[in-house]
Amino acid sequence: MKKLWKNKTTRKSFVTYAFVVLAYVILQSIAAGGGMKSSLKGMLVPICAYVVMAISLNLVVGISGELSLGHAGFMSVGAFTGVTAAIALQNAIPNAPLRLVVAMVVGAVFAGIVGFLIGIPVLRLKGDYLAIVTLAFGEIIKSIFNNLYVGMDGKGLHISLLEDKTHLMEDGRLIIAGPMGIGGIQKIATFTAGFILILVCLFVIFNLVNSRSGRAIMAIRDNRIAAESVGISVTKYKMMAFVISAAMAGAAGTLFALNYSTVVANKFDFNTSILVLVFVVFGGLGNMLGSIIAAAVLTVLPEALRGFATYRMLIYAIVLVLVMLATNSPRLKALLARLVPGRKEEGTDG
């Protein structure tokens, strides 16, 4: 145990786990005690979803070193497939938490598959080109779900594109109604489920990073040519990071969608992708704890700034800029280094 503690990365991951557990316990007890505003209470699940989005994108951007601007696309895939599964299984699995888990797994699997298919052409590209293609991918997913009709009746699932040609029987139900999205969702997502999802994702990411595969992924990020020269298959490991990240985003999408009564494709647009990227950059590339804090704070901030009414988003932007400037100032970094021993060497992770 002592030896484990000496390891910097292990120590860092324990701190992150501890932080998440502590935050959960505090928030849960405040909520149980009734001391939480209902607006904040309603944001607990979205915060969890965004935290998972941020740490999963951090796996691609920070650990794997590829700029992806279409992360909301995977969230969208997860949201629609996961919610469809939840509705379709409503009678088969009456137990809500179990249905939620199954729905998230379905969302993750579909998003992972889409991630794999997208990854085949996309991961051949580098830098800006990859960013542009992933951006386009996010938009494509959005238009597909805006034009997708899925219905279910006694005969099973019916799928059609562009217009509603599902021809459902009497007892049938149209699940995805094109631009109207999915309505009448049972809100089965809970804060506890979100908390567990965060822990699972952290567990996967930390253990991956500290394994042979994670080292290969980081080697490719640091120096692609050298990584190839020591026998690492670049495509395989880039794909691994991309697919795992997509699957996590899918699960986050399911969680997010099952917290609302309706979900529409336009919710997962370019702005959402950029928002998640802001969380990642804000929290520090490769820094999971930073991503978690950034995602939580920046999700709550617009709500907290409601008092400023019209100038809300302006203040939000100014806060963003100021924090960016502050965290990048060498003087503040030096101060932090003095206050927190061991902080200086950790700075190299960024």
Partner 1 sequence: MAKEFVKGKMVPVPSTSIIPERDLDKTPILECRHLGIDFGGLRAVDDFNLILGRTEIAGLIGPNGAGKTTVFNLLTKVYHPTRGTILLDGMDTAGKTTPQINRMGIARTFQNIRLFNNLSVEDNVKIGLHNQEPYSAATGIFRLPKYWRQEKASHERALELLSIFDMQDMADTPAGSLPYGAQRRLEIVRALATNPSLLLLDEPAAGMNPSETGELMENIVKIRDTFQIAVLLIEHDMRLVMGICEGICVLNFGRIIAKGTSDEIQANPTVIEAYLGRKKEA
User: Using CB under 8 A as the criterion, which residues of the chain lie in contact with partner 1 when the complex forms?
Assistant: 8, 203-204, 207-208, 210-216, 218-219, 221-223, 225-234, 240, 345, 348-349
Q: Select 225 or 309, whichever has its Cβ closest to partner 1.
A: 225
Whole-angstrom distance, CA of residue 184 vs CA of residue 104 = 18
Burial of 58 (0-12, 13-18, 19+ CB in 10 A): buried
154: alpha, beta or left? (left if phi > 0; alpha if psi -120 to 50): alpha
Closest distance of CB 210 from partner 1, Å = 8
Closest distance of CB 214 from partner 1, Å = 7
Closest distance of CB 116 from partner 1, Å = 14
Closest distance of CB 137 from partner 1, Å = 24
Which tokens in the block code for residue 316? 């939000």
Which tokens in the block code for residue 22? 């502590």
Q: Select 126 or 165, whichever has its Cβ closest to partner 1.
A: 126
Q: Select 232 or 288, whichever has its Cβ closest to partner 1.
A: 232
Closest distance of CB 216 from partner 1, Å = 6
Closest distance of CB 11 from partner 1, Å = 13
Closest distance of CB 350 from partner 1, Å = 9
Q: Select 158 or 221, whichever has its Cβ closest to partner 1.
A: 221
Q: Select 269 or 349, whichever has its Cβ closest to partner 1.
A: 349
Do 151 and 157 touch, CB atoms closer than 8 A?
A: yes
Please give the backbone phi and psi of residue 173, each rounded to the nearest 5 degrees, phi first: -140, 130
Q: Select 95 or 233, whichever has its Cβ closest to partner 1.
A: 233
Q: Select 229 or 310, whichever has its Cβ closest to partner 1.
A: 229
